[in-house]
Amino acid sequence: MTKLYRIFTNAELTARVQTSSTCHIFKSEGKQTKMPSNKSVSDAPITRFINGTILREHTLQREDLWVRDGSILNPEKLFYDEQGFADELVNCEGTIIAPGFIDTQINGGFGVDFSQLSENVPENVSLVAKKILEHGVTSFCPTLVSSPPVVYHQVLPQIKVQEGGPDGAGVLGVHLEGPFISAQKKGAHPEHCLRTFSSRPTEDLMEVYGDLGNVAIVTLAPEMDNSQSAVKELCRRGVTVSLGHSAANLSQAEEAVRGGASFITHLFNAMLPFHHRDPGIVGLLTTDQVPPPRTVYYGMIADGIHTNPAALRIAHRAHPSGLVLVTDAITAMGLPPGQHMLGQQIIEIKGLHAYVAGTTTLCGSIATMDMCVRHFWQATGCKAEEALEAASLHPAQLLGIARKGRLDYGADADLIVLDDKLNVKSTYISGEEVWRKPEQR
């Protein structure tokens, strides 16, 4: 027999809470007061976020959000099946509640370079994981640029996939950007570290990386000999293959997609420019050769430096559902101007620009994810929902993680609270507050 549910309005739900006899803490911005509620029938406490606008199903809608055991609850089933109510109320005071940001390409930050040999790799990852909470990032992929095999062999085993919490954002796996990339489009990658595939690409992968157990994404150039076999092998192992730092033409890129590749690393940067006779990798945004229902996603560095606003608008309007905002942040994110290390290269920060020292070659960004979201929103004129989903829903879809990047029932309660200018006010992981913007005095 099918059970029917009646949808309660917010007013009805509040009335039901207020008629109960017990009292629980009512959290609000900068203050706490008592608010009556009944005891939940579950042993785990239930938190209800009220007076907020929730991003759900691609729309900002006025609705409450219910959380228990780190997951988002369906309130109808809670009331009818359990006769349960909230143990704690969080007053969002008219702000936006959105899924936490996911950064799939971040090389480091705050003095940490993930591509550097160190005895303190876990501590360095934890430092960045903690710092990026204030920028709304609840999950990320630590990224290593092209490096000698010894770096991969020593660093990769130390970066574990793990859930986030009060100590920092969760790690979804490592992004290996190189070294199987084009010397012609190497960008800031040191040429002496670049590799090509032999007739045994699987052995090449294992020889260079050592272990793929903690790897989420590998960026490679699809035009290289035997790269298509490498694409298929990586996909077979559950690794997302991204195309980048490449001089590939469109047909080579399409062949890689048919083999399982599903991502483009920082679109427009370190690839052949768009040409009307052969649009190269950029042409994947509108190709009709992608096997349905597969989607090709593409990363965009919306820092106001790497990509002109007109290029952002072109990409977004051509393929909005595939756009993934990335920071491509380097060790100097959060540090003052001057020289720093990025993998095997010395880099120099001048203003908001990061260059390979002594050159004009850009080598990553010092922008944070919340900055990229705001710039993308303003530069493209898109809806706030689209800008927020480009940093949450789309990267989760890219990685095939259905429980993150959305506020649907049953999803992880990784969320952020933002004002109407998309400034982050607080960050939650598994429904627990892990960062709050200090009050100004």
300-344 pLDDT per residue, tens: 999 999 999 999 999 999 999 999 999 999 888 987 788 887 777
In terms of Cβ atoms closer than 10 Å to its own Cβ (0-12, 13-18, 19+), residue 376 is: buried
- Asked whether the predicted pLDDT for residue 293 surpasses 50, the reply is yes
Indicate whether 21 pLDDT > 60: no
User: What's the rounded mean pLDDT across residues 260-285?
Assistant: 97
How many Å apart are CA 97 and CA 375, to the nearest integer? Answer: 19
**Interval 284-303 mean pLDDT:** 94
Instruction: Give CA–CA dist 7/15, Å, rounded.
Output: 14
Distance from the Cα of residue 244 to its chain's centroid: 18
Q: Which ranges in 55-182 belong to alpha helices (H)?
A: 75-77, 121-131, 149-155
pLDDT at 180 over 80: yes
What does the pLDDT look like over 204-259, one tens digit per residue? 999 999 999 999 999 999 999 999 999 999 999 999 999 999 999 999 999 999 99
Q: What is the pLDDT of residue 441?
A: 65
Least Cα distance to 321 among 58, 25, 22 occurs for 58
Q: How confident is the model at residue 170 (pLDDT cuts 50, 70, 90)?
A: very high
Question: If residue 53 lies in a helix (H) or strand (E), which one and from where to where?
Answer: strand 53-56
Look at residue 83 in the predicted model and tell me its pLDDT: 77
CA end-to-end span of the chain, whole Å?
58
**What does the alpha-carbon distance between residue 36 and residue 50 come to, in Å, rounded to a whole number?**
14
Give the chain's mean pLDDT.
Answer: 90
Where residue 5 falls among pLDDT bands split at 50, 70, 90?
very low
Which residues does the annotation place in the binding site for substrate?
Answer: 188, 269-270, 277, 306, 362-364
Q: Report the alpha-carbon distance of residue 112 to residue 126 in Å, rounded.
A: 10
> Residue 55: is its pLDDT beyond 90?
yes
Residue of 136, 26, 137 lying closest to 92 (CA atoms): 26
Residue numbers belonging to the annotated binding site: 177, 188, 245, 266, 269-270, 277, 306, 362-364
Residue 38, pLDDT > 90, answer: no
Question: Residues at the annotated binding site for Zn(2+)?
Answer: 177, 245, 266
Q: Specify whether the CB–CB gap between 188 and 364 falls below 8 A.
A: yes
Q: What is the pLDDT of residue 274?
A: 95
CA distance 206 to 215: 12
Q: Does pLDDT of 11 surpass 60?
A: no
| DSSP assigned state of 41 | S
Cα-based angle 317, 323, 165 (whole degrees, multiple of 5): 150
Whether residue 419 lies in the annotated active site: no
Poorest-pLDDT segment among 81-90, 128-137, 175-184: 81-90
Tokens 């509640």 correspond to what residue? Answer: 97
Q: Is residue 20 scored above 60 in pLDDT? A: no
Average pLDDT over every residue of 270-292: 95
| Residue partners of 236: CB distance under 8 A and separation at least 6 | none
Instruction: Identify the weakest region by mean pLDDT among 38-47, 268-277, 346-355, 408-417.
Output: 38-47
Name the strand (E) or helix (H) holding 13: helix 10-18
Catalytic site residue from 328, 370, 412, 414: 328
Q: What is the mean pLDDT of residues 79-90?
A: 87
Write the single-letter amino acid at 7. Answer: I
Please tell me the distance from the alpha carbon of residue 217 to that of residue 214, in angstroms, as a whole number. 10
pLDDT of residue 334: 85
Question: Does pLDDT of 71 surpass 90?
Answer: yes
Read off the pLDDT of residues 380-405 as tens digits, 9 standing for 90 and up: 999 999 999 999 999 999 999 999 99
Q: Residue 164, Cα to own-chain centre: how many angstroms?
A: 13
Residue 291 has what pLDDT?
Answer: 84
For tokens 């929730």, what's the residue? Answer: 54
In this predicted structure, which of 5-19, 50-64, 188-202, 337-351 has the lowest mean pLDDT? 5-19
Most confident of 179-188, 289-298, 326-335: 179-188
